[in-house]
Amino acid sequence: MRNTMKVAKWEVKRNLKNKSYIIGLFLTPAIFLFFFMMPTIFGGSDEEEEVSTSVLVHDQLGVYEEIQQASGQADLDWELQQTDIDETNVSGELENSENTAYVFIDDRALEEGVVPVYTSEEIDPFFINQVTMLEAPIQAIQLEQLGLTDEEMAVVSSGVVFEETSPESVDGAGEEPTEAGMPEEMLERLVPGAFAGAIMLSIVFTGMAIFQSASQEKKDKIAEIILSSLTPGELMQGKIFGYFILGLIQVAVLVVFVLPVIVWQVDMPIMEYLFVPELLLLIAIAILGYLLFASIFVGIGATMADVSTAGNFQGMVMMLPFLPFIFIGPVLSDPNGLAAQIGTYIPFTSPGVLLLRLSTMEEWPWVEIIIALAILVVSVWIFMKLAGKIFKTGILLYGKNATPGEIWKWIRA
């Protein structure tokens, strides 16, 4: 264990002095922040584009207070004022005005049902739709003139509302949508799942460098010197643990630079959704996924004479972490479907599919989770053993890439 920690410490120090690693360490959050902030930078702010509309009301029916209440309830961006201007002089007033409207409420509204509205050339295109809310106080006066009781007036003025209901809205009843347009309960599930997914991708992608590290040491003949003072198993385990720490450093940089910006820009309690008990299980799944892929990468990396000469077999192995993307469509359409369950039990897709399913499901299928975790743990143990056998022989093989047949012999030996 002592030698394993020495190797891990050496891998961490070596990479922290590597310019490529340092650049990638800060370039990743920079790219993320660029694409996250791009709509704000290039699209401008909607709030800056909103301009209040000046609405001057010539009221002869005494409904100005009701208009104020109605505009406040509708949350309209109006600056209401009363005016005594004559209707014939409105055109002259509007010539040099922007976002201004004159509304004349008089006997014509009661007798003819017509309310003259004069607007400037520059005005909100939806203003004429907004001004229809003035119907309510005018209709109330009309009904009062008909001699209806207060109860009859309330029934008539309430109107008829057509309420649409679909199966999806019935299933999602009781969920309050946030300003992001997404139900709050869904966000509570997505935030920890997305965070665990970011951890898994960071440490797995960082761990892919093990592939290059093992083959580079073979090429430079460093492996022989290292193996003179420790066993191949200790070297392999040290590499896996060292690159795990490097992956966590990448996660820490992402959290420090990206998370505060997300909390600042997104109007929702991100931190409250993030630090929940379920996050521990999701992070455990991400770590198991890393250990599985890291053991495969370090073993296969030892079979190559040089990264530039990697064959089709080694190239296919490098694509294993991307297999869960095949299941994104089926899982999102039906998290409990057959395809989602199959992806949960395949070791190479299990970490990604599990994180995706648990981020979208209201009730977690604990039996499936326990079975999938057991498969993952057993798979990690098996691939660690197999990688140890491959690494032990392959790290000292020079001059050519090992073939699948040769790798199989090493495993059986």
The token duo for 188 is 């509570």
**Kind and range of the H or E run holding 407:** helix 404-412
- Taking all residues of the chain, what is their mean pLDDT, rounded to a whole number? 78
| pLDDT given at position 161 | 46
CB hemisphere CA count around 239 (13 angstroms): 32
Does pLDDT of 300 surpass 60? yes
* Separation of alpha carbons 290 and 49, rounded Å: 47
Q: Where are the beta strands (DSSP E) in 1-64?
A: 53-59
Distance of CA 205 to the CA centre of its chain: 19
Q: What is the DSSP letter of 362?
A: S
* Separation of alpha carbons 360 and 243, rounded Å: 30
Q: Is 191 exposed, middle or buried (0-12, 13-18, 19+ CB in 10 A)?
A: buried
* Separation of alpha carbons 260 and 276, rounded Å: 18
Instruction: List pLDDT tens digits, range 201-229.
Output: 887 777 677 767 766 666 666 766 776 77
Q: How confident is the model at residue 377 (pLDDT cuts 50, 70, 90)?
A: very high
pTM: 0.62
CA distances 134 to 105, 339, 377, Å, are: 10, 55, 67
Cβ distance 134 to 115 under 8 Å?
yes
Q: Which residue has the higher pLDDT, 144 or 257?
A: 257
> Where does residue 65 fall: left (phi above 0), alpha (psi -120 to 50 degrees), or beta otherwise?
alpha
Instruction: List pLDDT tens digits, range 306-331.
Output: 655 555 666 677 788 888 889 889 88
| pLDDT given at position 239 | 84
Rounded average pLDDT over 336-345: 91
Q: How confident is the model at residue 375 (pLDDT cuts 50, 70, 90)?
A: very high
Q: How many other C-beta atoms can be found within 10 angstroms of the C-beta atom of residue 252?
A: 12
Instruction: List pLDDT tens digits, range 355-368.
Output: 999 888 888 899 99
Nearest to 76 by CA among 50, 110, 105, 42: 50
For the chain, how many residues are written? Answer: 413
| pLDDT given at position 214 | 67
Q: Dihedral (C-alpha) 227, 233, 234, 240: value to the nearest 10 degrees?
A: 120
Cβ distance 340 to 357 under 8 Å?
yes
The Cα diameter of the chain in Å comes to: 106
